[in-house]
Amino acid sequence: MREHLGFLKISSAVVKVAAWIFLCLGVIGGVSILAGVVPGYPRWSGLMVLAIYGFAFFFFFFIAKIAELLISIINEIKKE
């Protein structure tokens, strides 16, 4: 299991970066739709965009935290 720790650390960091990118793009898109900058979309769809991208952020961030928890569990088991 020790050989997979590098992969878990890197994938956790990549997933966290992806989560923050999703959140930033979602906030920008949702606020621009709510402000009326994007023509052709009703303003309430901005709330849907914010909700969907917010869910994606929390989902990806949760997956990254699970990977970090797995790393710490593996390290704790190997200490014994």
Per-residue pLDDT 10s for the chain (80 aa) are 567 788 888 999 999 999 999 999 999 999 999 998 888 889 899 999 999 999 999 999 999 999 999 989 888 888 76
Task: Name the pTM for this structure.
Answer: 0.83
Distances from the Cα of 78 to the Cα of 41, 50, 70, 72, angstroms: 55, 42, 12, 10
Chain centre to alpha carbon of residue 74: 23
DSSP letter at 55 equals H
> What does the pLDDT read at residue 13?
93
Q: Give the pLDDT confidence score for residue 50 in this predicted structure.
A: 95
